[in-house]
């Protein structure tokens, strides 16, 4: 039995397997070497023909060659699998510490234009000696209306287009329709003199259009002290308008009506073309409102004002449509 020639063939196959470039050539070599029609298989089937004395030795040698060939095939398969794996790892590699060169500068985000306006407003009023107060967005009828001198029969309730929350008695709980309830909460908790501004989200059942959003932002101002007059109110508004829009911008008050202020006014700002633009409401705090908070109107007076922050940002940046603020289009927002 020419066992040594098998050994030589196996050694040759081993060499070919070691340099096989893909799984198909490994399979071809395996078929040649170990397949049903290979010499090795053929020799094994003919062992029975050998002299009984030679059989055992020939069988052992054939098996050794076979084991060696099988090991070589397995090694070739593993080698190819390993190199396929490392090629895949290299292709999928992510360098999480990589810094891109200057060709792709990092894009930094920034605060939303309405948030920027709110921050600037706070700065202006803090500079004038005010502190910043907050109140809840879900309010009771007491804070949103009654304490502000708007009893339930009052027609002004209808004009707020309030969004009610289905809790408690009907129309008892609501999303605040203005920031004025924060006036009440602050006066409940603090003794005068009081100088606060209260920015925050407010809600009305309005359909969104170019000048309205159902969820918008207001800022409330409240000053309570001794001997405060309408002149202090006008001066404060004028000062804030100039600080926010620029020294050349003027303000004016026009008589108006709010249940929680008496007298009441609307305030406008001047535009470069000489026209006036309405910004918000204001007035001297109504004595009933002071009494509702346990403050004696004979000793303390004050003024309050409120206006929309989104609208202010619209004017400042000359934006055509207030809905742009909630569309979250980066091409729009990145301009500010
Ligand atoms: N709360 C009023 C509104 O939303 C504005 C206002 C505030 C008027 C304070 C007077 C005083 O329309």
How confident is the model over 255-285, as pLDDT tens digits?
999 999 999 999 999 988 889 988 999 999 9
Ligand 1 binding pocket includes 144 (Cβ within 6 Å): no
Q: How far is the CA of 233 from the centre of ligand 1 (A)?
A: 14
pLDDT of residue 4: 64
Q: How far is the CA of 307 from the centre of ligand 1 (A)?
A: 7
Among protein residues, the one with the nearest Cα to ligand 1's atom 10 is 282
Per-residue pLDDT at 241 exceeds 60: yes
Q: How far is the CA of 112 from the centre of ligand 1 (A)?
A: 25
Q: CA-CA distances (angstroms) from residue 181 to 29, 175, 218, 260, 303? A: 87, 11, 12, 11, 14
**Average of per-residue pLDDT values in the chain:** 92
203-236 CB burial, b ≥16 within 10 A, e <16: bbeeeeeeebbeebbbbbbbbbeeebeeebbbeb
Task: Tell me what the mean pLDDT of segment 141-152 comes to.
Answer: 97
Whether cis (ω within 30° of 0) applies to the bond prior to 263 is: yes
Q: Bigger pLDDT: 285 or 318?
A: 285
Other beta carbons less than 10 A from residue 48's beta carbon: 8
Task: Tell me what the mean pLDDT of segment 152-168 comes to.
Answer: 92
Among protein residues, the one with the nearest Cα to ligand 1's atom 12 is 281
pLDDT of residue 1: 47
Ligand 1 binding pocket includes 186 (Cβ within 6 Å): no
Ligand 1 binding pocket includes 261 (Cβ within 6 Å): yes
Task: Tell me what the mean pLDDT of segment 200-224 comes to.
Answer: 96
pLDDT of residue 183: 98
pLDDT of residue 2: 52
Ligand 1 binding pocket includes 221 (Cβ within 6 Å): no
Q: How far is the CA of 260 from the centre of ligand 1 (A)?
A: 8
Which residues lie closer than 8 Å to 311 by C-beta, 6 or more apart? 211, 216, 279, 322
Ligand 1 binding pocket includes 192 (Cβ within 6 Å): no
pLDDT tier at 57 (50, 70, 90 boundaries)? confident
pLDDT of residue 288: 98
Atom of ligand 1 nearest to the CA of 222: 9
Share of the chain above pLDDT 70, in %: 99
Per-residue pLDDT at 134 exceeds 60: yes
Ligand 1 binding pocket includes 6 (Cβ within 6 Å): no
Share of the chain above pLDDT 90, in %: 72
Among protein residues, the one with the nearest Cα to ligand 1's atom 4 is 178
Task: Tell me what the mean pLDDT of segment 235-249 comes to.
Answer: 93
pTM of the model: 0.70
Per-residue pLDDT at 3 exceeds 60: no
How confident is the model over 215-231, as pLDDT tens digits?
999 999 999 999 999 99
Ligand 1 mutation pick, 174, 181, 230, 258, max ligand atoms within 8 A of CB: 258
């Amino acid at each position: 039995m020419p066992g040594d020639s098998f050994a030589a063939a196996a050694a040759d196959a081993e060499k070919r397997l070691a340099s096989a470039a893909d799984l198909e050539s490994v399979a071809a070599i395996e078929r040649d070497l170990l397949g049903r029609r290979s010499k090795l298989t053929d020799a094994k089937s003919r062992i029975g023909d050998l002299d009984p004395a030679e059989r055992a030795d020939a069988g052992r040698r054939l098996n050794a060659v076979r084991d060696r060939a099988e090991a070589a095939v397995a090694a070739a398969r593993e080698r190819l699998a390993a190199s396929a794996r490392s090629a895949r790892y290299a292709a999928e590699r992510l360098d999480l510490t990589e810094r891109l060169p200057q060709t792709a500068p990092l894009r930094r985000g920034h605060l939303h234009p309405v948030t920027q306006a709110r921050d600037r407003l706070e700065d202006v009023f803090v500079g004038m000696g005010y502190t910043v107060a907050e109140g809840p967005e879900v309010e009771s009828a007491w804070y949103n209306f009654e304490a502000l001198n708007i009893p339930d029969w009052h027609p002004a309730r209808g004009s707020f287009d309030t969004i009610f929350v289905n809790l408690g008695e009907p129309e008892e709980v609501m999303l605040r329709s203005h920031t004025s309830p924060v006036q009440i909460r602050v006066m409940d908790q603090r003794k005068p003199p009081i100088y606060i501004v209260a920015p925050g989200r407010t809600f009305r059942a309005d359909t969104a259009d170019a000048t309205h959003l159902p969820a918008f932002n207001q800022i409330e101002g409240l000053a309570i002290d001794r001997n405060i007059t309408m002149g202090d109110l006008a001066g404060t508004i004028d000062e804030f308008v100039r600080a926010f829009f620029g020294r050349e911008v003027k303000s004016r008050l026009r008589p108006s009506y709010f249940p929680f202020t008496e007298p009441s006014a609307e305030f406008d700002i001047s535009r470069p073309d000489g026209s006036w633009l309405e910004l918000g409401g204001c007035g001297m705090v109504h004595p009933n409102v002071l009494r509702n908070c346990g403050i004696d109107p004979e000793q303390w007076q004050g003024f309050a004002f409120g206006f929309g922050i989104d609208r202010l940002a619209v004017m400042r940046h000359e934006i055509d449509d207030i809905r742009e603020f909630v569309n979250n289009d980066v091409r729009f927002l990145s301009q500010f």
